[in-house]
Amino acid sequence: MAYKYLFFSDYSEGCHPRILECLSRTNLSQEIGYGEDTISLEAAKLLKEKIRIQNVDIHFVSGGTQANLISLASMLRPYESIISADTGHINTHEAGAVEATGHKIDSFRNPEGKVTPETIQCLVVEHRDEHMVKPRVVFISQPTEVGTIYLKKELEALLQVCKESNLYLFLDGARLGSALTAKDADLDLKTIASLVDLFYIGGTKNGALLGEAIVVVNDALKPEFRRHLKQRGALLAKGRVLGSQFLELFRNNLYFDLASHANAMAGKLSRGIKDLDFGFLTDSRTNQIFPILPNDLIEKLNKLYGFYVWSKIDDSHSSIRLVTSWATREEAVDEFLSDLRRLK
Amino acid sequence: MAYKYLFFSDYSEGCHPRILECLSRTNLSQEIGYGEDTISLEAAKLLKEKIRIQNVDIHFVSGGTQANLISLASMLRPYESIISADTGHINTHEAGAVEATGHKIDSFRNPEGKVTPETIQCLVVEHRDEHMVKPRVVFISQPTEVGTIYLKKELEALLQVCKESNLYLFLDGARLGSALTAKDADLDLKTIASLVDLFYIGGTKNGALLGEAIVVVNDALKPEFRRHLKQRGALLAKGRVLGSQFLELFRNNLYFDLASHANAMAGKLSRGIKDLDFGFLTDSRTNQIFPILPNDLIEKLNKLYGFYVWSKIDDSHSSIRLVTSWATREEAVDEFLSDLRRLK
Amino acid sequence: MAYKYLFFSDYSEGCHPRILECLSRTNLSQEIGYGEDTISLEAAKLLKEKIRIQNVDIHFVSGGTQANLISLASMLRPYESIISADTGHINTHEAGAVEATGHKIDSFRNPEGKVTPETIQCLVVEHRDEHMVKPRVVFISQPTEVGTIYLKKELEALLQVCKESNLYLFLDGARLGSALTAKDADLDLKTIASLVDLFYIGGTKNGALLGEAIVVVNDALKPEFRRHLKQRGALLAKGRVLGSQFLELFRNNLYFDLASHANAMAGKLSRGIKDLDFGFLTDSRTNQIFPILPNDLIEKLNKLYGFYVWSKIDDSHSSIRLVTSWATREEAVDEFLSDLRRLK
Amino acid sequence: MAYKYLFFSDYSEGCHPRILECLSRTNLSQEIGYGEDTISLEAAKLLKEKIRIQNVDIHFVSGGTQANLISLASMLRPYESIISADTGHINTHEAGAVEATGHKIDSFRNPEGKVTPETIQCLVVEHRDEHMVKPRVVFISQPTEVGTIYLKKELEALLQVCKESNLYLFLDGARLGSALTAKDADLDLKTIASLVDLFYIGGTKNGALLGEAIVVVNDALKPEFRRHLKQRGALLAKGRVLGSQFLELFRNNLYFDLASHANAMAGKLSRGIKDLDFGFLTDSRTNQIFPILPNDLIEKLNKLYGFYVWSKIDDSHSSIRLVTSWATREEAVDEFLSDLRRLK
C-alpha cells in the first residue's frame, strides 16, 4: 500500500504496548482454560469496579459479531425479533449472523442511526398479530454506526418504552470508549449498566488486540451464558488472552485515555474540514466522521489516504468515512488537512 | 491452586515467546483488517509451502469449536448429517455447536475413538430412507480424543469409502502437530491434504495464543468461505493476531519441534507409568495419555497434580488423562513419576 | 358472528364438493404413505400435463408458509439471502419462518408489491462485500399481496436479471389461479414454468381444503427435495389427502373456473365501488381489492361485513381489503354494494 | 400392488366415514381461519372434557413430525437438549427435524424403546460440564416405537426424576389410542395430563385423515404457542379440517373404539403367530407387533402381504413389523394367519 495513512478503521494497528507486556509477563504461568484463569477473573473484577455495580456478569469474547449474535440468541425465543435501525451493524455487516441463529431483525430507516421511542411503539403495535414475529429486544449502538451518540435522557426514554412493552434493551458498545469520552457525552459505565439489560465494552476498536467484554446486567440473562458462548465457538481455550486485554485497558483508565485521543484526532480532522467549508453527513463527535466532499476531490485524496466512500449525496458529492484510533498520530491528521487544503 | 503442575491440558501456558516477539515487532504497522493483512497473507503463503500444495485455501480462526462448526456448516445441505465416533469432540464437548447450525451427528461407539470404513458403509446403508438424515461428511480427529492416530493406510481406506458414498472427509487437527510427530506416524501435511477435503492445523494446543488454520482442499468448498466465517463471528478485525501465530509456528519448523517436545514428555510419562506396571485405556503415542490407576492412588495424586479423571474402569479403578504441552518441563514429568512411585 | 358475509379471505369456506366426493370414493382403498399413493401420483401426472412440461417435480404440501420456508431453505447456502418486496408474505406474515431456517430477507419498499429488475441489480451491487449476506433468490408473489399481477414481459425481465446475477427466481403462487385468470393476464402455467426455477400452485385459497403444489423446475433443486419436506414436517402420512385436492381441482379445469368466479365477484365489487366514486390503493384485477373509504363509512360497513382494514391513507381515510372466493355468491356482492350505497 | 393386504402401517386407509360426513355437513359455512373456527373451538372444548382438565391449551397440527419439532422447540433454550431412546421417532425417522431447530438429542440404547429414571439421572450427571449441551426435556412415546407401553408407575417414576433435575416430560402420542386401550394399560388421558408437561393425541394413525392434538399442560409452555405453530408452517388456513377430525373422533368415544379394534386385530395376529411357535422382538400389546420369523418364510409372506422387515435377529431370522389399523378387517387377519400356517 502506498497510502500515507489509513483512515479505514480503528483496528488498523495492533494494541497498546502495555497489553503485550502483560501477555509476556504472564506467559508461562499455568492457568485454567476457557476464561476461568486468574487473569480473566482479575480483569472481570476490575471491570466491575469501574462499572461500580457488583451484581453483573462479565464474559470476554473475541469480536463484535460474536458478542452480538450470542447476546441476542441468549435473549430470544424462536419467534422473537430484534428492533434495530437499518444502519445497525447486525442488520448490514454481519453476513446474516443473527438470522443464522433463527431470528428476524425488524429494521427501519433513521438518518441518525438511532432507535426512537416512537419507532419502538409503532413496531410493537404493528407486530401484535400472531402471524408475525414478536419484537423482544431493542438493539442500539453507542455510538451509532454514523458516529452519533445517545444522551442519557434518550436512553432513559428508550428504557421506559422497553419496560412498557416487555422488551430487552441491548447496547452494542464496540466503540463505547469513544462514545463515553465524546464532547457533550453525559453517560458513564454505571449509568449505562443501570439503563440496559446487557451491553458490551469494545476492546478491539480501542487499543486491544481483540476482545469485547459482555456485561450481563439483567439477572434473567445470566444463567448458562457460558454454554451460549461455548456453543457459538466463543470460549477461547486460552481465555487469558482476552483477560489480559481488559486488565490493562482498565488499569489506570487507559481505556478512556485511548478513546479520548481517538476522539481528539477526529475532532481536529473535523474542525479542519469544517474550516474549509465542507459539510458532514451527521453530527459526529466520536472517532468516525463523515465529511461530504466533491467526488473529484475524493478521488484525489483517495490516492494518498486509505478511507471508505460511505454514501452518495448527489451526482457530484459523496460522504466519506474517516476513522481515527488510539494510535493515530497528530502528524497524520495535520498532513491530511494540509493535503485537503492543497487539493480542494 | 496449590498443584505442583497442571496436566489438565495443552493450553495451560501462553505461547511460544517468538510469537509475542512477532506481535511486538509488527504492532504499530497499519494493516487491512479481517485477515487480509500482510502478516496473515504471508502466514498463509508459508503454510502452503509447508503443505507443498498451492491449490488450497487457508483461513485462520480463533478456536477448534469455531473451526468445526463453520467447516461443517459449509459442507452441508439442511438434511445432511455427519458421521463421527461417539467420542468425537463435536459430539461431546462443543455444547451442541453443530446441532445449533441445524445438523445431526450420526455417532457410534468405538473404543479407539476412530471411524472405520465398515461403520461408514453401515451408516450409509442404514440412512438410505428419505425419512432419515443423509450422511454427507465423515468427521475424524487426528489424533483422536483418546490419543490414538490414524495411519496412512487407514486414511486411504476412509477416503476410498467416502468417494464411493459421496461423502466429504473432514479432519479435525486441533492436535495435528502431536499426531504428525508421534512415534510410528507415517503422515505429513501434504499427504493429509491429498486424502481429505478439508482439515485444520491446530495452533492453540501447540504453542499459539490462539488460532487454528483451516485448509480447504476441495475446490467445491472454497467459494464464499469468508462469508461463512463472518456469519459465525470468526473473522477477527485484527486478523494479524492469528496470522502472527502461524507465521512464527511454521518458520523453521517450530510447530513440529514443539509438538515433538510435548510427545516426548508424554512418552516419558507413559514409560514411567508402564514401568510401575499400570496399564492404559488406549495405546496413545501422542501428548495425551490415559493410564489406569487405583482410585485411592488417583485421589492422592490429585492433591498434587491437576488432571481429569477420564472414565470408570471398574469399582476400584479409573483411567485418568494426562496432557503434556510444548511448555512442559522435564522436571515436572520426573517429579510426577517420582511421586507416583512413592504413593502407589 | 353476526356478519352478513365475510370478505376476510378466500379460505372462509371448506372446499369444492367434488373434492369431498373424491375423498369419500377412495377412502377405504389401502395406499402407500407419504405422498407415494396412487392418488397423489395421478394428481402429479395430471398437473404435469396441465403445465405441459414433463421434466418437473411435483410435491404437495399443506400450506403456503410451509411451501415458502421449505422451498427457500432448499435453495440456499447459510450465508445466502432472499430479495423480496417489503409486503412479501415471507417478510410480514409468516412469523419469521424463513429466518428460523437461518436466512435473511433483503426487503425494500414497492407500493405495487413488486420486485423490479432495478431493485435486484441495486441490491446485488450493495451486497458484494463479504461482510454481508449474498442475495441468491428473488421471491415474487403472483398475484402480489396487494392484488397486482406481473405480466409476461415483467417476468422475462426479472429472469434476465436473475440469470445475469446467478439468482434463482421463485414464484409464490398461493393465489396463482386468480392471477392466471385475471383480466389482461398473459401468462399460463407453461410460461411460468419456463421463466422461474421453482413455483407453487396454491390450492387452499382456490377451493381446496388444504394444499399447495410445489413445482420444481430447475434440475439443481430436485435431488432430495423429499428430505427437505420430511425435515420440516411437511410429508403427510396420508398424502392422499393432498393428492385428492389437486386431482379434482385440475380435472376439467375446475381450478381455473373457480378462480375466474372469484375474480368475477371481485370485479363486480370493484366496479360497484368505483361507480360510487371511491378510489383504490392498487390496480388489482384479482380476487383481493383495496378500496379507499372514509373511516366513518368503514366503521358502519364493518358492523355488517367481515373484512380487514389494510392501511391508513390520511387522517380520515383508510384502505380496506375485500377478498372474494370460489364460493362467494353474487347475492353477497350485490348486498354489499347496496349497503355501501345506502351508508355512504 | 398385488398384495392381499397391507400391514405396513396404520395410515394406509383414509378416515372414519363420520369425519367425511362432518366435513361435508359444515363445508359451506364461513369460518375464521387458522384454527379459530367454531369447529376447532368445539373440538378443543370436547377434548378438554375428555381429558377432564380445563386448564390445558389444545392446538391441532397436521402430523407427528410437526408436533414433535414444534413442541420441542417451544421448550428449549439454544444450548438445551432432549433425552430420548435411540429408537425414538425424533432420533431416527424425522430427517433431522429436531436438529434443524438447533437442538441435540442425547440418545441411548434401550431394547424396549423406553427411557428409564436411571438413564435420565446418568445423562444429567454426564452433562454437568458447561462444554456440553444441557438436557432439558425427556422425550417418550406412548406406545414406544417397538409397541411396548409405559405403566402408570413408570410414568410417575419418570416425572419424579424430571422434577428433581428440572426437566420437562414430553409424551409423543402418535399412537396414544392404541396405548390407552391396550391390555393391562392403566392410564387414561387425565392421568397422562397430570404426569407430563406436554403431550399430543395422535389422529392420523387412529382414523383421522390427518391431525395431532397437542395438549399443553405446563403453564410456562402456553404463551405464544401459536407463533411457534405459525413459524413452522403448521397453522392451516382452514383449521376446520383439523378440528373436524377431532370433533368426530372424540364424540361418543369413537377414538377409543377405533384403537380397541386395531389392538384386537393385532392381538389376534399375535396369538395366531404365537400358536405357531414363533417368538417376538418385544412384548407388544398395541397395534404394532414384531414377530421373529425365518428369512425364507418372510420372503414368501412378503409376496402376499405388505410389511416391513424390522431387524436382523441372526443369520437366518429377522423380526418383521405388522401394523393393524382402525380399518383392518378380521378377514385379512385370518387370511394372513392361514397363509402363515400354510407357508411355514
Q: pLDDT tens, A231-254?
A: 999 999 999 999 999 999 999 999
Work out the mean pLDDT of chain C and round it to a whole number: 97
Query: How large is the ipTM?
Result: 0.97
CA distance linking residue B344 with residue B33, whole number of Å: 55
CA distance linking residue A106 with residue D312, whole number of Å: 54
- D25 with D126, same domain: the answer is yes
- A207 with A296, same domain: the answer is no
State the average pLDDT over residues D295-310. Answer: 97
- Quote the minimal CA–CA distance from A145 to chain C in Å: 15
**CATH code of residue C309:** 3.90.1150.10
Strand partners, D153: none
User: Which of B218, B249, B280 is the endpoint of a domain?
Assistant: B249
Q: In chain C, which residue ranges form alpha helices assigned H by DSSP?
A: 17-25, 38-51, 64-75, 89-92, 97-100, 117-126, 152-164, 176-180, 189-195, 225-231, 240-249, 254-275, 295-304, 330-343
Position C130 scores a pLDDT of 92
| Contact by Cβ (8 Å): C87, C62 | no
Give per-residue pLDDT as tens, B304-339.
999 999 999 999 999 999 999 999 999 999 999 999
Which secondary-structure segment (H or E) carries D18?
Answer: helix D17-25
Position B60 scores a pLDDT of 98
User: Which of B189, B224, B249 is the endpoint of a domain?
Assistant: B249
Partner-chain contact D95 C327, CB within 8 Å: no
CB atoms within 10 A of CB B263: 24
CA distance linking residue A292 with residue A310, whole number of Å: 9
D238 at interface of C, judged by CB pairs closer than 8 A = yes
- A176 with A290, same domain: the answer is no
Q: pLDDT band for position C107 (50/70/90)?
A: very high
Give per-residue pLDDT as tens, B277-289.
999 999 999 999 9
Q: Is the pLDDT of residue A269 over 90?
A: yes
Query: Phi, psi (5° rounding) for residue D5?
Result: -160, 150
CA distance linking residue A270 with residue D55, whole number of Å: 65
Chains that touch A (3 or more CB pairs under 8 A): B, C, D
Residues 6+ away with beta carbon under 8 Å from A249: A16, A19, A203, A206, A207, A208, A255, A258
Domain count, chain B: 2
State the average pLDDT over residues A28-44. Answer: 97
Q: Is the pLDDT of residue B1 over 80?
A: no
- A222 with A281, same domain: the answer is no
With beta carbons under 8 A apart, name residues in chain A contacting B1: 32
Q: Is the pLDDT of residue B225 over 70?
A: yes
Q: pLDDT band for position A223 (50/70/90)?
A: very high
User: Which of B249, B281, B302 is the endpoint of a domain?
Assistant: B249
- To which residue does cell 402407500 refer? C32
A76 at interface of B, judged by CB pairs closer than 8 A = no
Give per-residue pLDDT as tens, D204-221.
999 999 999 999 999 999
Orientation of helix A152-164 relative to helix A117-126, angle to 10° = 20
Q: Which of C238, B230, A71, C340 is nearest to D207 (CA)?
A: C238
Position B2 scores a pLDDT of 80
CA distance linking residue C220 with residue C198, whole number of Å: 11
* Strand A105-108 with A168-172, pairing: unpaired
State the average pLDDT over residues C276-286. Answer: 96
Which secondary-structure segment (H or E) carries C136?
Answer: strand C134-141
Q: Is the pLDDT of residue B238 over 60?
A: yes
CA distance linking residue C37 with residue C28, whole number of Å: 13
With beta carbons under 8 A apart, name residues in chain C contacting B78: 73-74, 101, 228, 231
Amino acid occupying residue D97: A
Give per-residue pLDDT as tens, B48-92.
999 999 999 999 999 999 999 999 999 999 999 999 999 999 999
A81 at interface of C, judged by CB pairs closer than 8 A = yes
With beta carbons under 8 A apart, name residues in chain B contacting A329: none
**CATH code of residue B92:** 3.40.640.10
CA distance linking residue A210 with residue B209, whole number of Å: 12
| Contact by Cβ (8 Å): A152, A185 | no
With beta carbons under 8 A apart, name residues in chain D contacting C6: 30, 32
Which secondary-structure segment (H or E) carries D172?
Answer: strand D168-172
CA distance linking residue D196 with residue D215, whole number of Å: 10
A144 at interface of D, judged by CB pairs closer than 8 A = no
- D54 with D95, same domain: the answer is yes
Q: Is the pLDDT of residue C71 over 80?
A: yes
Q: Is the pLDDT of residue B232 over 60?
A: yes
- Start-to-end CA span in chain D (Å): 23
Mutation site for D-interface testing, chosen from B86, B89, B90, B104 by largest number of D Cβ within 10 Å: B104
Partner-chain contact B227 C101, CB within 8 Å: no
Give per-residue pLDDT as tens, A185-203.
999 999 999 999 999 999 9
Q: pLDDT band for position C2 (50/70/90)?
A: confident
Position D2 scores a pLDDT of 80
Chains that touch D (3 or more CB pairs under 8 A): A, B, C
Q: Which of A253, A238, A170, A239 is nearest to A206 (CA)?
A: A253
Residue among B34, B131, B227 whose CB faces C230 most closely: B131
Q: Is the pLDDT of residue B197 over 80?
A: yes
- What's the grid cell of residue B285? 503415542
- D70 with D179, same domain: the answer is yes
State the average pLDDT over residues C226-237. Answer: 98
- Start-to-end CA span in chain B (Å): 23
- Calculate Rg over the CA atoms of chain A: 20
Give per-residue pLDDT as tens, C18-43.
999 999 999 999 999 999 999 999 99
Q: Which of A287, A305, A327 is nearest to A6 (CA)?
A: A305
Q: Is the pLDDT of residue C156 over 70?
A: yes
- B238 with B258, same domain: the answer is no
Q: B-contacting residues of D 10-29, CB under 8 Å? A: none
| Contact by Cβ (8 Å): B240, A14 | yes
Would the CA dihedral through A161, A163, A165, A168 be positive or negative?
positive
- Quote the minimal CA–CA distance from D256 to chain A in Å: 34
- Quote the minimal CA–CA distance from D101 to chain B in Å: 6
Residues 6+ away with beta carbon under 8 Å from C164: none
Residue among C78, C96, C130 whose CB faces A81 most closely: C96
Q: Which domain holds residue C37?
A: 17-249
Mutation site for B-interface testing, chosen from D68, D104, D107 by largest number of B Cβ within 10 Å: D104
- A235 with A337, same domain: the answer is no
Give per-residue pLDDT as tens, C233-279.
999 999 999 999 999 999 999 999 999 999 999 999 999 999 999 99
Strand partners, A69: none
- To which residue does cell 428492533 refer? A83
Position B322 scores a pLDDT of 98
- C291 with C168, same domain: the answer is no
Partner-chain contact D228 A130, CB within 8 Å: no
State the average pLDDT over residues D99-118. Answer: 97
Let me know if D257 is exposed, middle or buried by CB neighbors in 10 A (0-12, 13-18, 19+).
middle
Work out the mean pLDDT of chain B and round it to a whole number: 97
Q: In chain B, which residue ranges form alpha helices assigned H by DSSP?
A: 17-25, 38-51, 64-75, 89-92, 97-100, 117-126, 152-164, 176-180, 189-195, 225-231, 240-249, 254-275, 295-304, 330-343
- A87 with A151, same domain: the answer is yes
State the average pLDDT over residues A219-238. Answer: 98
- D71 with D136, same domain: the answer is yes
State the average pLDDT over residues C84-101. Answer: 97
Q: Is the pLDDT of residue D313 over 70?
A: yes
- Quote the minimal CA–CA distance from C313 to chain D in Å: 27
Position B9 scores a pLDDT of 97
- What's the grid cell of residue D316? 437366518
Q: Is the pLDDT of residue C1 over 70?
A: no
CA distance linking residue C172 with residue D137, whole number of Å: 37
DSSP string, D103-146: --EEEE--TTS---HHHHHHHHHHT-STTS-EEEEEEEESS-TT
With beta carbons under 8 A apart, name residues in chain A contacting B36: none
CB atoms within 10 A of CB D303: 11
Spell out the SS3 assignment of B223-262.
CCHHHHHHHCCCCCCCCHHHHHHHHHHCHHHHHHHHHHHH
Q: Is the pLDDT of residue A89 over 80?
A: yes
- Quote the minimal CA–CA distance from C47 to chain D in Å: 23
* Strand D198-202 with D212-216, pairing: antiparallel
D238 at interface of A, judged by CB pairs closer than 8 A = no
| Contact by Cβ (8 Å): A78, A139 | no
- A43 with A59, same domain: the answer is yes
Residue among A78, A227, A228 whose CB faces D228 most closely: A78
Position A2 scores a pLDDT of 80
> What are the Cα distances from residue D197, in Å, to A178, B37, C23, D149, D159?
49, 54, 36, 19, 9
Position A55 scores a pLDDT of 96
Q: Which of B82, B182, B69, B164 is nearest to B117 (CA)?
A: B164
- What's the grid cell of residue B269? 510419562
Residues 6+ away with beta carbon under 8 Å from D70: C233, D61, D214, D228, D229, D232, D234
Helices (H) and strands (E) in chain D, counts: 14, 13
- Quote the minimal CA–CA distance from C315 to chain B in Å: 44
State the average pLDDT over residues D23-33. Answer: 97
**Residue of chain B minimizing CA distance to C224:** B130
Position D160 scores a pLDDT of 98
D227 at interface of A, judged by CB pairs closer than 8 A = yes
DSSP string, A265-309: HHHHHHHHHHHTT--BSS---SSEE-BEEEHHHHHHHHHHEE-EE
- To which residue does cell 445466502 refer? C80
Position A271 scores a pLDDT of 98
With beta carbons under 8 A apart, name residues in chain B contacting A235: 63, 65
Amino acid occupying residue D197: D
Pairs of CB atoms within 8 A across A/C: 56
B227 at interface of A, judged by CB pairs closer than 8 A = yes
How many residues in total does chain B contain?
344
Task: Answer left, alpha or beta for residue D24, where phi above 0 means left and psi between -120 and 50 means alpha.
Answer: alpha
Question: Considering chain B, what percentage of its residues have pLDDT values greater than 70?
Answer: 100
| Contact by Cβ (8 Å): A307, A8 | yes
Give per-residue pLDDT as tens, B108-142.
999 999 999 999 999 999 999 999 999 999 999 99
**Vertex B23 angle, CA B18 and B29, to 5°:** 140
Position D170 scores a pLDDT of 98
Position B99 scores a pLDDT of 98
| Contact by Cβ (8 Å): C205, C199 | no
